[in-house]
Amino acid sequence: MASEGGEIPAAPGVYRFSDATGRILYVGKAVNLRQRLANYFQPLRSLHERTRHMVLSASKVEWTVVGSDVEALQLEYTWIKEFAPPYNVKFRDDKSYPYMAVTLADEAPRVMVTRNHRIPGARYFGPYPKVWAVRETIDLMIRAFPIRTCSDSSYKRAMQTGRPCFPGQIGRCGGPCSHQVTIEEHREIVDQFVAFMASHDRSVIGLLQREMKEAAEAFEYERAAKIRDRIQALENVLEKSAVVLPDGVEVDVFGIESDELAAAVQQFVVRGGRVRGVRSWVVDKELDISAGELVESVIETAYETEPPPREIIVPVLPDDAPALEQWLADRRERGECA
């Protein structure tokens, strides 16, 4: 195996092993390139079996010096995504999880189940472990905050013809297309829907209880009954969201269990102190990597498609945790989606 670039510098950077055909086998980063790469040039018998196999398969190692640990992490991330090296950590379960989305950019916002993370102006809630879990939550929420659920084509047809959309006819759509509310009134309900999903604030239930009492005292029993049903729907939503931390806490919690060959990862999305979503992966480990390196790969994968929260709890901190924190802060600030 040959190296390129002359004497290995004692500086932060990113290195990559490649075989005789030029295929990139492995990409890694280091605070000190010379020190890290020296680990690969030990007697073969002292290397882990899979690391030894990678080294024997490689014909060349190249490195790029960068200005900081954060730059090293960013370049490593970019190269892993570009080259998909076979010896880097691989996530077997890369399925897209379902989310609840509210299309706030629409004239009459719609709530729906989706796996598409790029709807312009949409507000997302989740991820949910199964599609049925999203649908169940939507069913409960529209009983409390009846907003539009029909398709864009149904909405357009209903607004042009003056005839309610089909979901509106059967009480399953509360948009202006049901001809029960105006566009302005519907927007207010949408705002309430989003605010409750974002906070799960029980004060909303208190306000509805007072409104229900006032309606009953005014002998408006039908209105009071509708408010009662809304309260029950919100109580059901809260019951289905496990309270694990104090109100107002927004954090992602990662659990990782691993052996020599693989790791199981669970991500719990906690918003307003409640578990709002769960994701899971199975990770193949082609090389013998530390727990900190595994955590770093998991975190980078978890936030490929959405900005991270301000607090993340992991089993072990990576060696270069400050660089990873800066990388996460940059993505959060830009709301970046890879």
CA distance 236 to 144: 10
| 67, 88, 109 - which closes a domain | 88
**Residue 65 and residue 175 in one domain:** no
Average pLDDT on 41-47 reads: 84
**Residue 77 and residue 108 in one domain:** no
**What is the pLDDT, as a whole number, of residue 267?**
87
- pLDDT > 90? residue 91: no
**Residue 245 included in any domain:** no
Identify whether the C-beta of residue 302 lies closer than 8 Å to the C-beta of residue 279. yes
* Containing structural domain, residue 267: 251-334
**Residue 29 included in any domain:** yes
3-state secondary structure of 16: strand
Beta-strand pair 60-65/2-3:
parallel
pTM recorded for the entire structure: 0.53
**Residue 281 included in any domain:** yes
Percent of the chain exceeding pLDDT 70 equals 90
Comparison of pLDDT for 48 and 25, the residue scoring more = 25
- pLDDT > 50? residue 154: yes
**Residue 20 included in any domain:** yes
**Residue 201 and residue 319 in one domain:** no
Average pLDDT on 175-190 reads: 93
Which of 198, 191, 177, 207 has its CA nearest to residue 124?
A: 198
CA distance 96 to 114: 10
Burial of 227 (0-12, 13-18, 19+ CB in 10 A): buried
- pLDDT > 80? residue 1: no
**Residue 93 included in any domain:** no
**Hey, which residues does 254 pair with through a beta bridge?**
267
